[in-house]
Amino acid sequence: MFVLILLVGIYVWSSKTKTAQPESPATIETFESLSAILKNRSSSGAELNHAVEMILSRFGTINSHTIGTYKHLVESLCVHPRTDSKLILRFEKTLRQANPAYAHEIEQSLGVGLGARG
């Protein structure tokens, strides 16, 4: 009986210490961290969707210095094992619409990425 009471006491004490721990602070998502998710072959589909949404909403404007980076992102997304066609096309289409001056380069990188996927 004493052992049972001791085990219940330990269980209650351990559950209180778990809830007393402060929550971890929210991570700040940078362009580099979001890009790393797209390039990481072990990223899940949900992580890819989140990274694409954040890149499009916060970093969707391309300039002459960043076009190469975006081309590599499109290619990386195309060959990622957990991506799907809807995600690829949404990323490419939104980038083209937001940056019409670079539409040709974005379409070329899509072709290269899809060609490498096959």
Residue 60: count other Cβ atoms within 10 Å of its Cβ. 15
User: 89 and 74 in contact (C-beta within 8 Å)?
Assistant: no
102 falls within a domain: yes
The Cα-based distances of 115 to 27, 68, 69, 80 in angstroms read 35, 18, 19, 13
State which residues of the chain have pLDDT below 50. 18-24
Which amino acid is residue 107, in one-letter code? E
Residue 35 in any domain: the answer is yes
Q: What is the pLDDT of residues 80-91, one digit of tens each?
A: 999 999 999 999
113 located within any domain: yes
Domain region containing 72? 31-117
> Residue 111: inside a domain, yes or no?
yes
Please indicate, yes or no, if residue 50 is contained in any of the structural domains.
Answer: yes
The tally of domains found in the chain comes to: 1
pTM of the model: 0.75
